[in-house]
Amino acid sequence: MKNKNNIFPFFILIALFLATIVFSLIFGSSDIEQSRIISALFSKGGDNVTRTILWQIRLPRLILGIFVGAGLAVCGAVFQSMLRNPLASPYTLGISGGSAFGATVGIIFGFAGFLLPIFAFLGGIISVGVIYLIALRKRFSNSALILSGVILSFTFSSLVLLLFSISRSERVHSALLWLIGDLSSAPEATIKSIPAIITCGILILIFYGRDINILTLGDEKALYLGVRVDIIKKIIFIVASFITAACVSAAGIISFVGLIIPHFMRYFFGLNHRRLLVSCALSGAIFLVLCDLLARIIIKPLELPVGVITGFFGGIFFLIFLLKSKDWEII
């Protein structure tokens, strides 16, 4: 796109976002007439079954998909720019590993309902704390952040496998389903609280968009241009990590959203992070909600975990985009 300051692409994203919401509410694993859906959505009419499916199943999944998709895509863009690494994602720094370990502990020891996301969130925060302390000793260098995240991910993965090896098969199966990524099992309290955390985090990152722009030039140039690199990096790291921990605690480990969406959006919207992060939030929400819709209808009445769909199609789209793009702007 020649003019990346053009506002027209935003209108396209907003139109796609609204259309995605409509499709997600109308279609699903249960075939329901559109008139009944509309009646249940906009009035007190409609049968109880339709209202239950709409308000207690489809709408909560839609809300969770919107905010988790937006959060993962925004964090992916931020981590790629801050670390100056095109393969960075919300899961690069080991946050997902900590959340996975926390959730696995909760499942293996029989905790369910609203307690499971709490275990996952606490695991992610522990991981963030460990990485922060390591990076602090190394003056928050990019290599220290990446290496400590990779090492911590392997450590937590080993602990998860250890728990699997000593646990009953049904609980291992439940943990695996959660680890794949799913939008259907989050408790009501999570659906009410997670959007607020993610929204606040995204707004903070957008506020620091100009500083993120400068960080992409490198730490030395950023210091020369007046950016407090150490402070800004700490703020961005902590905020993006909290968003990631919230997303993983609510929906499990959903791959590729935070990796591919930022690259697509840089191609269309350029490198200004205030524009880029807004576009990533919209497109990440669209992508994850559409993947969840496909997971519901592809083998209906059975449903697939949404992580299966994002992993499969995300990998294919990413390879096609990588091979066909002549001018692949990363940072």
CA dist list (Å): 44 to 23, 50, 188: 21, 11, 22
Would you say residue 201 lies in a domain? yes
CB 184 within 8 A of CB 61: yes
Q: What is the DSSP string of 31-100?
A: ---HHHHHHHHHSS-S-HHHHHIIIIIIHHHHHHHHHHHHHHHHHHHHHHHHHT-TT--TTTTSHHHHHH
C-alpha to C-alpha distance for 93 and 111, rounded to whole angstroms? 26
Helix 169-180 × helix 142-165 angle, to 10°: 150
Residue among 220, 231, 241 at smallest CA distance from 79: 241
Would you say residue 104 lies in a domain? yes
Would you say residue 3 lies in a domain? no
pLDDT at 299 > cutoff 90: no
- Predicted pLDDT at 1: 45
Q: What domain range includes position 71?
A: 8-324
What the block records as the tokens of 30 is: 């249960």
Would you say residue 278 lies in a domain? yes
C-alpha to C-alpha distance for 188 and 55, rounded to whole angstroms? 12
- Predicted pLDDT at 217: 85
Tell me what the mean pLDDT of segment 189-196 comes to: 89
The number of CA neighbours under 13 Å toward the Cβ of 314 is 24
Residue 148's CATH number: 1.10.3470.10
CB 91 within 8 A of CB 72: no
- Predicted pLDDT at 4: 60
Would you say residue 182 lies in a domain? yes
Average per-residue pLDDT for the chain: 86
Q: Let me know the angle formed at the C-alpha of 218 by 240 and 267, rounded to the nearest 5 degrees.
A: 65
Would you say residue 231 lies in a domain? yes
Write out pLDDT tens, residues 194-203: 999 999 999 9
pTM: 0.90
Residue among 178, 193, 29, 23 at smallest CA distance from 112: 178
Write out pLDDT tens, residues 87-108: 888 888 888 889 989 999 998 8
Would you say residue 246 lies in a domain? yes
Write out pLDDT tens, residues 123-170: 999 998 998 888 888 777 888 888 888 889 899 999 999 999 988 888
Q: What is the DSSP string of 86-144?
A: TT--TTTTSHHHHHHHHHHHHHHTT--TTHHHHHHHHHHHHHHHHHHHHHHHTTT-HHH
Would you say residue 1 lies in a domain? no
CB 201 within 8 A of CB 240: yes
C-alpha to C-alpha distance for 102 and 108, rounded to whole angstroms? 10
> How many domains is the chain partitioned into structurally?
1
